[in-house]
Amino acid sequence: MSQGSAPSTGPSYVSVEPNISAQYFEAERERIFKRVWLQVGRAETIPNPGDYFIKELAVLDASVLVIRGRDGVLRAFHNLCRHRGNRLVNQSAGSAKAFACGFHGWTYSSEGELVNIPLEQEFPGCNKAKLGLIRLALDVWEGFIFVHWNSAPEQSLRDYLSPVAALLDGFPFANLELSGSWGASLNSNWKTFQDAFLEAYHVLAVHRRSIPDFRKDPLVTGAQLMGKHCKLTYYQNMLHEPKPAEALAFKLSSSAFLSIDRTNELKNRRWPALNSARRDNWVFDEFVIFPNFHLFLGDGWMLCHEFWPTTVDHTDWQVKYYQQRSNSPAVKIAQEYSKVAMRDAIREDLSTIENTHAAQRLGAMPFMTLSPSLESLIVHHHSVVADYVGARPTRVEA
């Protein structure tokens, strides 16, 4: 697939079968989630040797332990003891000098080496060097930690993320800090969940209260395919008149949710991937990293969505909102406005998802009718999934 404008040929009737078929989901687990790089967190959350976090990846039936070693290197392991397979670490995050299994006390270093077997003499000839924790591949791009089921993936993370990585290299992610963190477990297929965040068309209805004058023209949506990844651009109504709290937030901080690029910092072409159309009313770009990571970048903020399937009918979703790092209380007050506005809008986004999935499960509606312009990225995402799964095209004849 080549990079270019979204296709707009013909209406798009996309089958709902891939969203409700248990068999299809099994194929997704094997052919997508075990074969691609998966984003699992930020490197700055474990800055010191021995710092770790656990990522539960139900889609792989795996618990993954990410540790920063004494050498400063990040590594990912299956969270299991090589003795008989007991779960090694239970605390979701922390810091440890060594990791001892609670079953018989086999102990591992922060680099994953087996360093102690209690009563080792009772294991004659046991070679500890061959019994380190089992690795998954791990690589980091701009502070984002990715893991791969295969310990020696065919494709490097850099190649996998092409062309997105090169577009955002050097982006000052370090200037951002965690501001909001929310999660939900919904009875929905993971793709249906993501679909709610793959178009801006819904803003007119879903956000009619929270963002009533978001855009004058609903047809103005920037959608760009980037290989298996893609990008969606959102624009603001320049005539938007902020309410008092919002106005204060804009005054106290140069950046706030739904603010336009007031500082022109992003427009100055250091990151040409952002606001690539150079419009005055640009608000943010959403990069959709296949298969389940959506990265929203605005002026002084970022939003990271992770959509983790557990079954064909269920998804655990986490989102983290980052804002400009600051010790100024006034800026924090402004940022609180942005955080609350973002959270409330996201709760509106989540209102349709379980209904949609339940309706698709009914079987009464065999396909979705999608706009080839406004909803092109939904078509794209389902097509890429089908490519990986090796399924017939998901477009159907109405």
Nearer to another protein, 72 or 244 (CB): 244
Nearer to another protein, 56 or 336 (CB): 336
Of 322, 321, 287, 323, nearest to 197 by C-alpha is 287
Would you call the peptide bond into 124 cis, given omega within 30 degrees of 0 as the criterion?
A: no
Nearer to another protein, 130 or 209 (CB): 209
Residues β-bridged to residue 75: 67
- Which tokens is 150 given? 């295969």
Nearer to another protein, 246 or 261 (CB): 246
Nearer to another protein, 110 or 179 (CB): 179
Q: Which residues bind another protein (CB under 8 A)?
A: 178-186, 206, 209-210, 243-246, 248-249, 251-252, 326-330, 332-333, 336-337, 339-341, 343-344, 346-348, 350-351, 353
377 touches 12 (CB < 8 A): no
Per-position b or e across 142-180, b if 16+ CB within 10 A of its CB: eebbbbbbeeebeeebeebbbebbebbeebebeebeebb
306 touches 292 (CB < 8 A): yes
**Smallest distance, another protein to C-beta of residue 354, A:** 8
Nearer to another protein, 78 or 305 (CB): 305
**Smallest distance, another protein to C-beta of residue 192, A:** 14
Instruction: Please name the residues in contact with 22: beta carbons below 8 A apart, sequence gap of 6 or more.
Output: 311, 312
Of 312, 318, 261, 315, nearest to 294 by C-alpha is 318
**Smallest distance, another protein to C-beta of residue 35, A:** 30
CA dihedral 149, 304, 289, 89 (to 10 degrees): 0
**Smallest distance, another protein to C-beta of residue 176, A:** 15
